[in-house]
Structure 1
Amino acid sequence: MDESEPVRQIYDHKDLAEFLESSAFQDIWDFVERLNCSVRGLSGDALAGPRVPATSLVTAELAALKELAAEVELLPAETGRFGNRAFRTWFSQLQERTPRFTEELLVKSDQTKRYGPDLQAYFLGAFGDPMRIDYGTGHEASFLLFMFCLHRLHLFRAEDFPELVLSVFPAYLATTRYLQQRFTLEPAGSHGVWGLDDYVFLPFLFGSSQLIGKDTEVPPVAARDRELVLELAPKYLYFDTIRFILETKRGPFAEHSPTLYDISGLENWSRINAGLLRMYKAEVWSKLPVIQHIPFGILIPFRSAARTSTERLPAGS
């Protein structure tokens, strides 16, 4: 294995506890909070269009990956298996494409190729597991770390964070939703009916931030009205994700998504957003089965001591 290749560092609860107390995690959590704050009160149509060159590059790659998935011939379903093995064929194509894609990003960031393995690791980890044929919040977290690395490489500045949340992240959601349906990916680490969602968390967090201050115009209880959900979905990640749930699950909303149903009974979006932020740390980043597969390298070291010199990270990170 190349010394520069990111490696797994979390194997048990002791490792996880160390990570959660590290400066690396504090940097990641600060990034989450800043993304969350960046879209407060912003609808999805608030952006006039891509301002950052990397946005077009990333969204185009995500769209291409979605098109490739549509071209992969499905294999006969196996008795007792949830996912379609053809997902592995698509994943092989992802592995072939990713080095070229990350090299293009590094050219735009004016950084050396030494950061390529980090970008590749987090991008490859964002679409599911080819052996288990599943997808969950750990893979979503890997895409968050990919975006974090784009910021560390100065491809997205703090003032560009709304573009990350409202342009790049929705493109990622569109691709992963297609993968879930096309290859019937099994939910990884799902809490079942009492979980927030089978596959994702961040669109609820960022989406609730978009709605802060809009309690009169769009009250939380609107999530219980299918027509309102469809009307609001194009503007708000929260309602777009509920729309997807309503399209893919059968039965009453209160039965297949009781946690989301209960949340819609709260009085304002500010309270919902604050609760989801706490829940995200507790139910995703503090869970060993979810976080144990995340690798650590140069851009995201496991321990602060891993930064042996200021030259290891791009200046200003």
Structure 2
Amino acid sequence: MEPPPLPSSIPPSQPQTHPTSSSSTPPAKPPTSFPHLTILTPSQSHPFTTPQKKITTGTDLPHFLSSLAYRDLGTFILQLNRALCPRKPSPSSPASSQTRTFPLNTRRPDEPIIVTRLRAVLHELERMMDEAPPEKGPRRFGNVSFRRWHALLKERVDGLLGGCLAGLPGGVWEEWGAEEAALGEVKAYFVGGFGSEQRLDYGTGHELSFLAFLGGLWKLGLFEGEGGEGGEVERHLVLGVFEAYLRVVRKLILIYNLEPAGSHGVWGLDDHSFLPYIFGSAQLTRPITEAEPMPLEGSLPGAPRPSDVAKPATVDLYRESNMYFSAIGFINDVKTGPFWEHSPILFDISGIKDGWGKINKGMIKMFNAEVLSKFPVVQHFQFGSLFSWDPDPEAAVPAQTVHLANQPSNVNPSPAGSGPGTAAPWAQATKMPGATAGVPPGPGIPYSRAPWTGGGSSAPTMPRGGAPDTGPPPPTAFPRGKPGTASNQFAVTKAPWAKD
């Protein structure tokens, strides 16, 4: 069994309704037709709490998949994902006669001041690497100088974030007089977004912690409005802040040789990140109007083909403008050999014929199955008032699936100070925000076998892109760990859209 298919949006005829909770109240303006993360109401005070770890055993995972935190994080990702989809020309605006696209390397006027300030904070974190130069000599498990850099981060985070967020227009914390309490909650997610100083690693859990930091600022109203016009604020957030964050993280990985956190290694999608593949595929999907849901297939006219990810020259051409190709480019920077050999899942996905819309839909489904539904990843996420452990009243009971069945029954607690890992909401059978019968179920991306697995007479004799057939074929079976332990969770699964 697999987690149920995930919709990429809800149809405009179906307005979104969310129950109120201790962490959010309905927005002042009428609800929108597509999922949006709710902003706290300034007129109502909010009890901030210090985020804490709640997922300690595999039996806690179903509760997470039915929690308000799960719902809110998933809503936020869907909201950002749809904002990056190209837009059709507006018939009501003669000046807008061309399809609007949203590449990385475009200067965007009217940038919110918080975006400018957050980029400055990230630039300072990058500069701090000069204060903690890596120790010389080969090291297998990461450079211990990363601990010095991380200590600087913890030492200076209050001043960095306090200066960044002080005096911003909008928001609720100034009205409540709760700046210190709110800062204490969001900074936990910020610090957790830059890897573990104990394990000297970085992975999708840390990536999601940083996204939770941005989601917390959104809930506080610091991005000046819920959604902006046509997702403009969300685009500033992803292309202006999240991409800058990825650049800092990639430099940390290179300088300090950080290990992949909880990675499947070569058999996973990517050793360190996942969200760039969601957002990058959204940049290349078929254009939509502001009233249309996220496309489930099709590509932007003139977009590179999915198979081009195996061509280094094409990757270099697009990596400065597209997040998907930027992530592939980083893989090429740190790995050698044929693309199909060191990144077989991404190579398989590159054979999709239904366009980037299909890939985007499949990436969301894979994120659900391989990140949010995996105990080793979500066990480190911390829950407070902004992303609450409280149950979502509208959530369905998670169905028993192969992912839930393989959770460890108990684990050793994480080292103190290891920081939050990852979390987000649409995993498993939880009723994801906006899930309706109006969105076709579909299996996501059909799984295509890599060329070495033997696909019959039609199987290619060499990988796409002309890469030589080098290296050993992948194993046909993978050992599992002892049932009821964390090692059992790392048994390799096929891509989530694969048939069992």
Q: Same fold (TM over 0.5)?
A: yes
- Residue 295 of structure 1 aligns with which residue? 382
Q: CA deviation at 1:4?
A: 3.2
| Letter aligned with residue 280 of structure 1 | F
**Whose Rg is larger?**
2
Change (3 A) 1:10 1:106: farther
Q: Identify the structure with the greater helix proportion.
A: 1
Does structure 1 residue 202 correspond to structure 2 residue 202?
no
Deviates more, 1:273-282 or 1:208-217: 208-217
Matches within 5 A, 1:73-88: 73-77=133-137, 81-88=140-147
Give CA-to-partner distance per residue, 1:273-307, whole Å, 9 cap, x none.
Answer: 000001111111111111111111121121159xx
- Residue 151 of structure 1 aligns with which residue? 218
| Letter aligned with residue 307 of structure 2 | V
- Residue 198 of structure 2 aligns with which residue? 131
Matches within 5 A, 1:21-40: 21-40=66-85
Distance in 1 of aligned mates of 2:166 and 2:193: 19
Change (3 A) 1:78 1:241: closer
- Residue 140 of structure 1 aligns with which residue? 207
Does structure 1 residue 44 correspond to structure 2 residue 131?
no
| Letter aligned with residue 318 of structure 2 | L
| Letter aligned with residue 92 of structure 1 | A
Q: CA deviation at 1:101?
A: 2.4
Change (3 A) 1:270 1:110: same
- Residue 11 of structure 1 aligns with which residue? 56
- Residue 53 of structure 1 aligns with which residue? 113
Does structure 1 residue 172 correspond to structure 2 residue 245?
yes
Q: CA deviation at 1:186?
A: 0.7
Does structure 1 residue 261 correspond to structure 2 residue 347?
yes
Change (3 A) 1:137 1:219: same
* Conserved? CA contact 1:52–1:155, under 8 Å: no
* Conserved? CA contact 1:136–1:198, under 8 Å: yes
Change (3 A) 1:206 1:64: same
Match of 1:274, SS state, is helix
Give identity over the alignment, percent: 39
Match of 2:193, SS state, is coil
Deviates more, 1:114-123 or 1:151-160: 151-160
Distance in 1 of aligned mates of 2:210 and 2:152: 18
| TM-score normalized by the length of structure 1 | 0.91
Q: CA deviation at 1:117?
A: 1.5
Q: CA deviation at 1:27?
A: 1.4
* Conserved? CA contact 2:132–2:145, under 8 Å: yes
Give CA-to-partner distance per residue, 1:86-121, whole Å, 9 cap, x none.
Answer: 001000110011112232325424512211111110
Aligned match for 1:272, one of 356, 359, 362? 359
Gaps of 5+ in 1: 306-317
Across the two proteins, how many residue pairs are aligned to each other?
Answer: 302
Q: CA deviation at 1:226?
A: 1.3
The CA RMSD measured in Å over matched residues stands at 1.7
- Residue 309 of structure 1 aligns with which residue? none
Distance in 1 of aligned mates of 2:69 and 2:119: 27
Does structure 1 residue 115 correspond to structure 2 residue 188?
no
Distance in 2 of aligned mates of 1:91 and 1:284: 24
Does structure 1 residue 231 correspond to structure 2 residue 317?
yes
Deviates more, 1:154-163 or 1:195-204: 154-163
- Residue 401 of structure 2 aligns with which residue? none
- Residue 243 of structure 1 aligns with which residue? 329
* Conserved? CA contact 2:68–2:388, under 8 Å: no
* Conserved? CA contact 2:131–2:149, under 8 Å: no
Distance in 2 of aligned mates of 1:114 and 1:292: 24
- Residue 219 of structure 1 aligns with which residue? 305
* Conserved? CA contact 2:68–2:387, under 8 Å: no
Gaps of 5+ in 2: 1-47, 87-101, 287-298, 393-500
Give CA-to-partner distance per residue, 1:171-196, whole Å, 9 cap, x none.
Answer: 10010000001000011011111111
Aligned match for 1:97, one of 145, 156, 164? 156
Q: CA deviation at 1:257?
A: 0.7
Does structure 1 residue 71 correspond to structure 2 residue 131?
yes
